[in-house]
Amino acid sequence: MIRPTESERELAWLGDAVLTLFARAHILREGLGMNPLKIAALTSNQFLSCFGNPTKVEAELGRIYSEQGLPAAFAKIEEDLLPLFLKQWKKKEKLS
């Protein structure tokens, strides 16, 4: 197993914060209330693993945030992560 570098871990730490902020803002913007389960599901390693190594996914978000700013990182999440999350969440709600 390849261990992430210190730099990658630092970027992942930023990326995790960006993802959490996106999740909270999205949930509030959609009028879904403060739903901690939905935030946890969107930011979980289990969900992120759908896109590869969770640390690498978060590091990429951190890299985009560092180089291009928050709007670019949010756009990346909205384009790449959110569609699958919404699909999975809708399926989960139907099963509940």
Terminal C-alpha separation, the chain: 37
CA dihedral 91, 96, 77, 70 (to 10 degrees): 160
> What pLDDT digit, counting tens, does each position of 13-24 carry?
999 999 999 999
> What pLDDT digit, counting tens, does each position of 27-80 carry?
888 876 777 888 888 999 999 999 999 999 999 999 999 999 999 999 999 999
pLDDT > 90 fraction of the chain, expressed in percent and rounded: 66
Asked if residue 88 belongs to a domain, the reply is yes
Q: Say how far apart CA 28 and CA 35 lie, in whole Å.
A: 9
> What's the predicted TM-score (pTM) here?
0.88
Asked if residue 78 belongs to a domain, the reply is yes
Q: Say how far apart CA 8 and CA 38 lie, in whole Å.
A: 26
User: Quick count: other Cβ atoms within 10 Å of Cβ 52?
Assistant: 10
Number of domains in the chain: 1
Q: Say how far apart CA 89 and CA 59 lie, in whole Å.
A: 24
Asked if residue 1 belongs to a domain, the reply is no
